[in-house]
Structure formats: structure tokens, C-alpha cells
Structure 1
Amino acid sequence: MYPQDTLPFPPTPSASIAGRTMQESEYHQRVTPSRLPDDAPNILVILIDDAGPGLPDTFGGEVRTDTLSRVIGEGIGFNRFHTTAMCSPTRASLLTGRNHHRIGNGQIAELANDWDGYAGEIPKSSALAPEVLKDYGYATSAFGKWHNTPTVETGVTGPFHNWPTNIGFEYFYGFLAGEASQYEPNLVRNTTSVLPPKTPEEGYHLSEDLADDAIDWLRNHQAYNPDKPFFMYWATGCMHGPHHIMKEWADKYAGRFDGGWDEYRELVFQRAKEKGWIPGTAELTERDPRMPAWEDIPEDERAFQARLMEVAAGFAEHADVQAGRLVDEVERMGYGDNTLILYIWGDNGSSGEGQNGTISELIAQSGIPSTVPQQIEALNELGGLDVLGTPKVDNIYHAGWAWAGSTPYKGMKLLASHLGGTRNPMAVRWPAKIEPDATPRPQFVHCTDLVPTIYELLGITPPRTVNGVPQDPIDGSSFAEALMNPEAEETHKTQYFEIMGSRALYHDGWMASAFGPRAPWLAGIPEGIAEWTPDHDTWELYHLAEDWTQAHDLADSHPEKLAQMKELFTIEAAKNSVFPVGGALWVPIYHPEDMIATPYRSWNFTGDLRRMPEPIAPRLGARANRVTIKATIPENPNGVLYALGGAGGGLTCYLDDGYLCYEHNLFIIHRTKIRTTTRLATGDVEIVIDTQPTSTDPRGPLTISLSVNGEELATGTVPISTPGLFSANDCLDIGTCLGGAVAADYADRAPFPFTGEIESVNVTYTS
């Protein structure tokens, strides 16, 4: 078997001949042979999150993206690059070269279930490209959003076999979840939980931190491994919600979006044509009738909706600037000429998960009813529009802006059926090999194509076994020739798409599409979805070779072609473990009780528990439970006993000048506050916080009781709680609040550590 068929390579044998004595021996220093071509490039992959093609000014949008423009101006662009319509699936496919269902990533890890296509774990039979490149001699690193580790494995004790540093990356700094506060993220370095290096008040922002750390890694790499090429994956959490950015960045866009999303789409569409990014024959698609027009937005709500977009734009520009710092450092270190940079603008289309526009993004996904006036009223209590983008809120824009950000297409994130969810720009620069060309490359390219392209450029044969595990075939097709030749033949002829029942099939210039059971911008569970079956969906047919934007449905006029495409989708779905179609809906729609969680019903914590990810922490706001705290109360006691969640939503128990306090923060729009009327005495105490649902509705109400040494001191009622999570990246902390400040009353004192001593905390589900 040839060496490249199996990885890792065997150890290099000694070049010396050992005799009985050193005098009788022959010594030669062993030299490990190079496995790479002499001109093997460094590789830098930059991936932006939840961003559509209608945002960057590079392609006609309003968001200033100088770095993206620089990379494409000094290289080439692909205007038919495609993703999966969802983050974890795209990332898994991008790094393995396999289709997302084949590798168990039919949806995000938090919604994993037992079907193979939706299991939420990349199998060892599909090794990541960095694992292979590392064995061939690359230094590998990853920064930012990961979101490809099973949720139950993201705690500080692991297990670590699915963490980045155990599946190919020698170094990782970032967050494991699908999103993070940009001011108070739950970070890990390699396999260690770490706190941000400074506070928001000291100027911390996650995108800047990720650039700082990546630059430090590059400098260390040059110092310690100057003879090795590097592979760096830099995946900022921007533009995923929450949209967090400093005021001065948002203010750059003041007034720029006052005309609304309908006007914005018209403007961007014309500019994209003028720039040559889309063909002159392309047509601007119409707004879905279920999506409100800008003129439907009440006058007194438009400033709120426009400011949400200003914040998002500032957030996006800021991330592009941080990517620029990386590119600058690559140049400064002398790597620029032989570094292959792939800058991918979006792992899916822009996100409509903010639905009607919100100050706390998970409220809609949690099924909590709210209105825009409620959001504005709560915002005004915090300080008004200028609070948007700050640590006090977890804002994300109206889905109308997501639709506009995906101009000129119909779709957005979570719609695998239409190009707004799956077509993202990719810029490529490699001065040593690629001649700059202002005309976009026209070939159909998919995220599975990156890995085989890299392998072809390096002369690597995809290994048959890695670490003893036989490997699955790679699904992607190399676009290496298209990098050098704009007229190269299109190699990726057929590709299926499917996310949560929304699906499509591309084949040789045609696309068949089925919208699926839900519009991602509509709140709540669609009526009748429990009876939904893919057999009842209406399919559309588009000839993309002549219809760039899916503007003309040909299903009625070409029934035979549509039947052929549907049959081909069925074949591809069967090959790639897509069945059952819509399998990703099993947990969020049909069986929310099966949401990934630990199997425990009781926990014993000490007073120094820090950063336990909420998905694997006790569900203190969603289950009947009793928290028992044994503590020593000092004179004038203050500080947090425990906090779950963050500023955008959560619950907490704390002492304020000796008074025992409890606050339930329902996504900022409603706060339940309970406070004892007497101060706690000094000395050893047993504090009990009892939570009991008073109905079968998983959203509450909840009765809360605060007791000290067996005496009930205060009670209260939480009218509505969340059946799911308060946050996607925040945590449970004991004795402090290291993430976003859950309680408004101690926000200015955060992290507000407890001034006494906590001996133990027991949490027990009581039903």
C-alpha cells in the first residue's frame, strides 16, 4: 500500500546502523522526508457567519467590506459558491468534503437525534482536512465559532475526542456553541475554559480578540516552525445573533437604512449588476406575501427597525476589518505571495431568526409571544435605541433585513430550497498562482469542494484509512482548475440541499425546489405541521442557466423534467442518509422533550463552579426543582449565589446588602423579582430556592419560594418561562456571574462575586 493511502505516516526509521559498540556502529541522522511539494502554500480560510450576498459593498450592498474587496480585487471571486443553508452542516461539509447528512450534520448539534443523518457527530470515517494536512506536515489552527461538537460534550471535563484539537487542529481558540455574546463569550483555548482577557468596559470585543489570538499564533508559528506551511481556519461569530458592536461602528450607518428593506433590495440589485457580480439578465425576485413590506411597519416602530440594521452593518464591517488585520499580518510576515486565502462571506444566507426584530434573539425560538411595542418599551427602560448593540441586550434585526441581505434571491438562512439560503460569495487570492480577474468565476461550486481542491493542489491522494478508520468517499469535486482558468469545465454537476424539510436538487443547470413546512421568519409553530409530510409539498422547477434568481417557475410547463429532478433528489437523499426528510424537525417541532440534555436529575456543586454550558446545566427555569445552598454569610453580604443564562435572558439568586433576591429575566421583556423583607443573619445558613410549575404548560407559570434555615421568607410567581434555553452560549456560574449580567439590579456590579463562602449547592429535579 502506498504511504498516502493510510495516515498517519509510519515513523521515519533510523538511518544509523547499530553495532555492538559505538566504535563498531555507523551513525547518520534520520531525516523525515517531505510529504509536500516545495511550493506548498499556506492556507487561510475566513468564514463569516449568517451573512447574505446583498450586504457587502464589494457586491453592491451598504456594508463596507474593504478586506473582502481587497481579496477579490487581488484575486478572483465565485458568484455560484453554495452552502447548506445552516451553520453546523456547512462547517462540517467545508472541513470534511462530505455532504452534511452523510456525516450526521443534517442540523445543528443542539437538535441532534438518533437517525444517522442527524446524529450531530462527525464520524471518524470522515476525517477533517486539517487532520490530513497535519500528517502531511502542515501546522493547523482554528479560531472562533466551532459548533461541530456534540452539545453534551462541551463541558470543561469533555470528553474531548470531538473537540477541534482532537480532530486535526493543533490549536483552537474560540467557542464551541453556535453563537456567543461578543462581550462576554464562553471561551475555550484548546481544551481549557478561559475568560476573556478584558471586560467590555475595558474595550473587549470577541472579533478583535479572535484576530489578536490568530496573529499571536502566526508569530509563534514563524518563530517555532518557519519551515512548515500553515492551515488556519478563522471563523468569526459575526453576523450571527446577538448583533453586538460598539456604538461608533453602528453610528457610521446612521440613516442609511431609513428607506426600509424593499428600497434596499432595489438599490443593491442595480449595484450588483453594475459591478458585474450578477448577470444583466438577472431578475429581482418578489417578496413572499408572508413577509411584511416596509410600508407595513408602523411609523413609530421604523426607527427601531432601522437602528437594528445599523447595528448589524457596523458589526459586519468591524468583523471584516479584523479579517483585514489577519491579511495584513500575513503580508507583513512575508507569507503573502504564497498564501491561498479563501474568504467565504456566509455559511448560509442572512438569518431571519430575529423574526419581527428583537432585543433578545432567543425569545422567538423559545415560542414566547411578544410584540414589537413590548420590545421597544423594554429597550426604553434600559436607555433607548443607543442600547442596541451593547452588553445589555441580545438584539437581532427584523427578518425583512435578512431577506434584503440575501438580495437578489428569494430565500435566507434555513431555506435550502432557494438560493438566498444557499448561495454565498467566495473570494480567493493566491498571488503566486492566481492572476487577478474582475469577472466572477461562473462554475457551480459547493462547500464540499474545498477539501478535494486543497488535496489536488497539494498532490494529496484522499487517504483510505486515517488513524485506523476506513474513510468514506469524498463527495465534493475539485475546483482547482477553475482557480487558474476562468473557462474551466464545471466539475460539480449534481448537488442536493435539505434543511428541516426545505430542500432542492441542482443538476446540470437546473434546480428543483420544495420550500418545506415552515417559513423561518414566522413566529411560532406553523399550524398543521404535526401532520406535515414531504409528499404533500409543492415542487418548483427553475432553469438556472437562464434564470439566475429562480424568478420563473417552470414546473407546470416541464412536468417530465420536474419528475426527473425529484427522482434524482430521492436517489441523492438515499445515498446521503437524508431520510426521513425533515428529520431535523424531530426535536424542535415534534419532540422538544428529547432536546439534548444530560441524563442527571440531581447535581452536587461546590462554590467554585464556573462556566457550565447552559445546554448541559440543570434546567432551573423549565423543570420543577429545588436548589439547596449551604453557605457562610459574612457581615454586609453581597454577590451572586448562582446565575444561569445571560443579559438576554436567565435566572439568578443573589444577596444585595444582606437581602436574599431572586430574578427571572424573561428575555428582557419581563422580569420577575423576589426579595426578602429581612436581611440574612451572619453565620452558616441553608438557603433553599424551590421552583414549582403550576400548570402543564411548559412555559409556566412557576411558583418560586425562598427559604432560609427552614423558614420561608419570600415567594413569587413567574408568569411565563422558557421551555428551552435562555441562551446558546452562556452558562451556569456559582458564586459569581461571569457572563452577561442576568439581573438588571447588579449589571453595574458584575460579575458581582459573593462576599461569603459557599460550601455546596445541590440541585434536584422534584418531578
Structure 2
Amino acid sequence: PKWDSLDWEQRKLFIKQADVYGAYLAYTDNEIGRVIQAVEDLGELDNTLIIYISGDNGASAEGMLNGTPNEFTTFNGVAVPVKDQFLWYEFWGSDKTFPHFATPWAWAMDTPFKWCKQVASHRGGTAQGVCMSWPGHITDLGGIRNQFCHVIDIVPTILEVTGITAPDTINGIKQRPVEGVSMVYTWDKANASAPTKHTTQYFEMLGNRAIYQDGWMAVTTPVTIPWLLSTATPPDVITGYKWELYNMNEDVTEANDLAAKMPDKLKQMQDAFYAEAKKYNVLPLDNSTLARFLTPRPSSTAGRKVFEYTGELIGTPPSCAPNIMAKDYIIEAQVEIPEGGAEGMIVTEGGRFGGYGLFLSKGFVDGKSAAKKTMENSTPIEFPEDEDFDVGLDTRTGVAMIEYRYDCPFKFTGKIDKLRFDLGPVQYTAQDRKQLPAIADRVARAKD
């Protein structure tokens, strides 16, 4: 939307989002400077090759159209209204938030390139600035280079300057060859305009794909919107995509699509993509987004409906824990409460930005019903992956931020004799299927 079309609440929130992002960039820049200063103070700057890459992809649009104080809402297909986000306005950027700015900021920050993170077909999703410094070896200070390079060129560059040959085997296991092309040839001022040695490179992510070859770029037009993750079942991964064609020597921002004018060239580039994709194990292609999170994988918990624990357990990764999402479940704990009562965490998974916990807050239990409440909503896809599953305490961040807030590790002061999970089958609600059809369809086709 145009800035002038926004109301005052939207403007105030979006400015806050950009301010915090800008502050983070300034902080990061300062910390990188501290590292470099420390190397210089040690007298090792002349002996240090520094390669600085401005990012790992284009600006992210995963905050959805309004942004979010908690990025895991996006990963669960939930858009946070502007009014609700103001509850976190004063804390934006603190440890109480996991913030992400609104999609239009990403769109603007990727200018002049098209698209954004997740869209590997266009430079808005992939192009990054790179700076290299090595006093005494890189002498063209401030020099600009325009040769095509890729992140896989970093390792060959380091191997060349250190004189190290990549091993063929490690611990008896044959290694795949190191791909990429050393960038050392670009360092000399005399080679500032030398032809690129990296002549062919494929790109692919979530079905968005491209191929660079000898100054040309063929790319697919995105068919799903990166800020609306998995809101629609994607089309056929091969036949459902249109291709574009660009001459990168004349049109680095991919503004003039030549596909209609040069169909033979486009076909040549498409064939080159699939040849590279086959060579480097990209096939088969998969254009799902959040749905792939739930694709069944080898797991110690696959197919299990009952989980039992005795005593304290910490640090279990989510993939090895009972998965209570999108299903009915019963959690039953047999505990011993000392005279005077007990408190603490009985079992938890996740944390501040998503999860659950069963705990006592200065109380007793006696086997009778203490409370009954309907949960209007639950987490359908994932809890934060940097949290874990704990029994008897909470090792990371707490799941209760406002009501019944506690301080971790919140160790249970009673004794846990037995903890049991009984899990029902996966079942998505009508609202889930409306919001996340691709995920619901994939889960319906897969085993629980």
C-alpha cells in the first residue's frame, strides 16, 4: 500500500519496526568493527583475509503485510492485527519480542531488484554485497568488481590463498568435490574487468528457480506469495510456472523480459537449469512452503501415541518429543506433593514465543478436577525450534509471560513419579483448512 493511504496507527507501528531494524544494523556494524579492531590490536590484520557478506538472502517478507512482534505467528499462518501489535510497541526489539517488520519494508529494501527472501529466482531474493580485505595482498583499495560470483566461491577462495587442497576422503569417507570458483583472480587491479570465471550457476528454493549462464539469466515467475506462507496449494512444480529471460550484461535489475522475443534462448537456458539441477541433486523439485515442515521424516517418535517419563528430563529436541499440535491429547502426571505444597514445572515444550507448560503455582493437587477451560486456538505447525522439551523444570524461556509468570528454571519442588502423554490422530479444523490448505492436504496424505 502507498504510505499516504495508511492510518496513523499503521504509520506509527511501521516506523517503529524500521527504527528497530535500523538500530540492529547499526549495532551489528559496530560489533563487526570491534572484531576487526581486535585483530588489528593483535597485530594480525595483515595476516587476516576478511570476507564480509551483507546478508544470506534478500530482505525478508515473512512478517506478513503488517509485521509481527513474534515471527512464529507467521510460521503458524497467523497474521497479527496492527491494534494487537501495539501491546508490544514499547518492548519492540527487546527480549520480549521476536519481531519482524512489515512486508513493504522488505520490498523497498530490495530495490532496485525484484522480489525478496525465499524467491531464489530473482535478485531481490539473492543479490548481496561482498567486501574483501587483506592488506598487502588486495591492493586496489576501494575497487569495485562486477564479475558474477556466488557464495560457493568462498571456500575455493580460502583454499587458494592458504595453499590447502580439499581432502578427497575424511575418516575413510569419500568427499564430494568442492564446487565454486576462487575469486582471487579479481583482486588485481589489472583484472578489474576480467571475464567472470564462474560461468554457470543454478538457483532454487521452494520451487522458485533460475539459471545464470554466460551473462544470461532465465528465471521462473513466483506463483505463491512469500508473505502468505502456505495459504494456497501451489500449482504443478513444472508446468505451473512461467519463465522470464534477461540479459544481465545490459539489464542487471531484470526489468526487460526477453522470453517472448527469444524463445530459443529461453529453451536453451531451461535445459541448462535442469541439467545443473540433476547434476547437483536438486531434483525432484518441491514448491511447498510450511507444508514441508510436516512432511514425515525418520524419527524416534514416528507413529507413537503413548509417551511415558519418570523423573527429570531436560534438553530433548522437539523432533524427539510428543507432538501435541493439531490433535487431541491427554497429559497425565502422577506427582508427590510435600507437606506445605509445591510449585514448579512438570512438563513444557517451547517458550516465550510459542509453547505449552503444565506446572503448579504455589499449590496442591489431589486428583480432582481443579479447572476446566476451552482453548479457542492452538498452535498448528511448530513451536520455536530454539526451545526444547523438559520434564521437571524449564531450561530456556518461560511459556507464561503475563498470567502465572515464573522465572526459569522453575524447578518442580515435588516429585514426578510418572508423566504420560496419550495422543490422538492429526485433525485440522475447518478454519485451519481454510487458512492452511496445503499443510492440511499434505498431512491428510501422510501418516501421523
Question: Structure 1 length as normaliser, TM-score?
Answer: 0.52
Tell me how far 1:502 sits from its aligned partner. 0.4
1:454 aligns with 2:158: yes
Tell me how far 1:590 sits from its aligned partner. 7.1
1:490 aligns with 2:196: yes
Distance 1:404 1:302 in 2: 15
Q: Which residue of 1 aligns with 2:172?
A: 468
Of 504, 511, 515, the residue aligned with 2:210 is 504
Which secondary structure does the structure 2 equivalent of 1:611 belong to? Answer: strand
Tell me how far 1:505 sits from its aligned partner. 0.8
Which secondary structure does the structure 2 equivalent of 1:461 belong to? Answer: coil
1:535 aligns with 2:192: no
Distance 1:322 1:506 in 2: 35
Q: Which runs of structure 2 are paired with 1:275-286 in the superposition (5 Å)?
A: none
Q: Which runs of structure 2 are paired with 1:2-21 in the superposition (5 Å)?
A: none
Q: Which residue of 2 aligns with 1:763?
A: 421
1:608 aligns with 2:266: no
How many residue pairs match? The answer is: 418
Q: Which runs of structure 2 are paired with 1:197-216 in the superposition (5 Å)?
A: none
Of 611, 622, 647, the residue aligned with 2:352 is 647
Of 378, 381, 384, the residue aligned with 1:724 is 381
- The residue type equivalent to 1:337 in the other structure is D
- The residue type equivalent to 1:393 in the other structure is T
Distance 1:350 1:602 in 2: 43
Tell me how far 1:726 sits from its aligned partner. 2.0
Q: Which residue of 1 aligns with 2:258?
A: 554
Cα deviations by residue, 1:304-352 (Å, 9 ceiling, x for unpaired): 1221121122222222222222222222222111101111111111211
Tell me how far 1:584 sits from its aligned partner. 5.6
Closer/same/farther in 2, CA of residues 480 and 590 from structure 1, 3 Å limit: closer
Distance 2:413 2:274 in 1: 62
- Preserved contact between residue 75 and residue 290 of structure 2 (Cα < 8 Å): no
- Preserved contact between residue 355 and residue 521 of structure 1 (Cα < 8 Å): yes
Of 359, 367, 392, the residue aligned with 2:69 is 359
- The residue type equivalent to 2:81 in the other structure is T
Cα deviations by residue, 1:653-682 (Å, 9 ceiling, x for unpaired): 222231xxxxxxxxxxxxxxxxxxxxx25x
Tell me how far 1:358 sits from its aligned partner. 0.7
Of 379, 390, 410, the residue aligned with 2:94 is 390
Of 490, 496, 514, the residue aligned with 2:220 is 514
Closer/same/farther in 2, CA of residues 524 and 580 from structure 1, 3 Å limit: closer
The two structures, once aligned, show a CA RMSD in angstroms of: 2.3
- Preserved contact between residue 746 and residue 752 of structure 1 (Cα < 8 Å): no
- Preserved contact between residue 615 and residue 725 of structure 1 (Cα < 8 Å): no
Distance 2:127 2:54 in 1: 10
Distance 1:559 1:621 in 2: 48
- Preserved contact between residue 643 and residue 653 of structure 1 (Cα < 8 Å): yes
Cα deviations by residue, 1:193-217 (Å, 9 ceiling, x for unpaired): xxxxxxxxxxxxxxxxxxxxxxxxx
Of 310, 319, 323, the residue aligned with 2:19 is 310
- Preserved contact between residue 307 and residue 420 of structure 2 (Cα < 8 Å): yes
Distance 2:374 2:416 in 1: 26
- Preserved contact between residue 644 and residue 652 of structure 1 (Cα < 8 Å): yes
- The residue type equivalent to 1:725 in the other structure is E
Q: Which residue of 1 aligns with 2:393?
A: 736
- The residue type equivalent to 1:737 in the other structure is D
Closer/same/farther in 2, CA of residues 736 and 296 from structure 1, 3 Å limit: farther
1:414 aligns with 2:71: no
- The residue type equivalent to 1:602 in the other structure is V
- The residue type equivalent to 2:346 in the other structure is L
Q: Which residue of 2 aligns with 1:273?
A: none
- Preserved contact between residue 494 and residue 508 of structure 1 (Cα < 8 Å): yes
- The residue type equivalent to 1:765 in the other structure is L
Tell me how far 1:638 sits from its aligned partner. 2.5
Which secondary structure does the structure 2 equivalent of 1:540 belong to? Answer: strand
Q: Identity percentage over the alignment?
A: 35
Tell me how far 1:296 sits from its aligned partner. 4.2
Distance 1:596 1:349 in 2: 32
Distance 1:588 1:595 in 2: 15
Tell me how far 1:428 sits from its aligned partner. 0.9
Question: Structure 2 length as normaliser, TM-score?
Answer: 0.86
- The residue type equivalent to 1:519 in the other structure is I
Closer/same/farther in 2, CA of residues 311 and 612 from structure 1, 3 Å limit: farther
Structure 1: 5+ residue stretches without partners? 1-291, 659-679, 682-707
Structure 1 consecutive aligned stretches of length 4 or more whose deviation exceeds 4 Å = none
Closer/same/farther in 2, CA of residues 590 and 454 from structure 1, 3 Å limit: closer
Q: Which residue of 1 aligns with 2:446?
A: none
1:594 aligns with 2:296: yes
Closer/same/farther in 2, CA of residues 591 and 614 from structure 1, 3 Å limit: closer
- The residue type equivalent to 2:290 in the other structure is P
Structure 2: 5+ residue stretches without partners? 426-448
Higher RCO, 1 vs 2 (CA within 8 Å, ≥6 residues apart): 1
Of 638, 663, 666, the residue aligned with 2:343 is 638
Q: Which residue of 1 aligns with 2:403?
A: 745
Distance 2:292 2:390 in 1: 31
Tell me how far 1:607 sits from its aligned partner. 3.8
Q: Which runs of structure 2 are paired with 1:37-436 in the superposition (5 Å)?
A: 292-356=1-65, 357-368=67-78, 370-376=80-86, 379=87, 384-436=88-140
Which secondary structure does the structure 1 equivalent of 2:355 belong to? Answer: strand
- Preserved contact between residue 208 and residue 287 of structure 2 (Cα < 8 Å): no
Q: Which residue of 2 aligns with 1:525?
A: 231
Distance 2:272 2:103 in 1: 32
Distance 2:10 2:328 in 1: 38
